[in-house]
Amino acid sequence: MSGPGVTVTLKLATSLDGRIALADGRSKWITGSEAREAVHQMRARHDAVLTGVGTVLADDPQMTARPGGAPAAVQPIRAVMDSHLRTPSSAAMFSAGPVIIYHSGDAGAAALALSQAGARLERVAAGPDGRVGFAAVLQHLAGEGVLTVMIEAGGALAGAALRSGLVDRIEWFRAPKLIGGEGRPCIAELGLESLDAAPIFTRKKARPIGADLWETYERG
């Protein structure tokens, strides 16, 4: 269990070579319908789903759990790490109820529009890079009674989470297609200076799901 008593699962859906999108950001759909259904079931089992503003701007996701195509009876808390409040007030996620938006600076003019759209703005401490700190977000979610968090995001947030050392599990859906080096990586820079510093995860399970492969890893 990570940090402030919160178990963190990082979900990745990539090509065989670990890419989440083409160079221009197009990503629908890398994995198949069976994998996407499993992700909806996974969301329904978590207390909160966390993404970054980059994913909101690129994909405009609802972030809801819809196993079998129908909304789950109990929805996870939906949260966005958005340091400078770039989330548009017209984002699709607001149609499904309140969303927590974590930012690290002055709210400014964007705050009113987001609040009216259904955002709950929470200012948290910034990390060394001046952006919303991942550990600070977990601390706040723990205070909300959250015990399990599922990260569904791009490479920047995935990298930040892994750099924090607070990821407990990786659920990796890997499609049998290759995108190449120009595609967008699933994990941003980790700042490693030696292989000894690389995060280590142990593979616990690997099984086919449709045409894809679903791998489960746990830290250590």
What DSSP state is assigned to residue 72?
Answer: -
Is 128 a domain residue? Answer: yes
Read off the pLDDT of each residue in 63-83 and give the average, rounded to a whole number: 93
**CA dihedral for 68, 1, 187, 25, sign (positive or negative):** positive
Is 172 a domain residue? Answer: yes
Residues 119-162: tens digit of each pLDDT: 999 999 887 778 899 999 999 999 999 999 999 999 999 999 99
**CA dihedral for 184, 170, 59, 52, sign (positive or negative):** negative
Is 105 a domain residue? Answer: yes
Structure tokens at 135: 């550990």
- Consecutive H or E run containing 136: helix 134-143
Tell me which amino acid residue 129 is.
D
Q: What's residue 2's pLDDT?
A: 57
- Domain range for 127 is 7-219
Residue (of 197, 199, 187) closest to 160 by Cα position = 187
Is 1 a domain residue? Answer: no
Is 2 a domain residue? Answer: no
CATH number (domain holding residue 94): 3.40.430.10
The rounded radius of gyration (Å) of the Cα atoms in the chain is: 17
134 in Cβ contact with 166 (< 8 Å): yes
63 in Cβ contact with 205 (< 8 Å): no
Residues 192-205: tens digit of each pLDDT: 999 999 999 999 99
Is 178 a domain residue? Answer: yes
Q: How many distinct structural domains can be found in the chain?
A: 1
Query: Is the whole-model pTM more than 0.85?
Result: yes
Q: Distance (Å, rounded) from C-alpha 11 to C-alpha 30?
A: 14
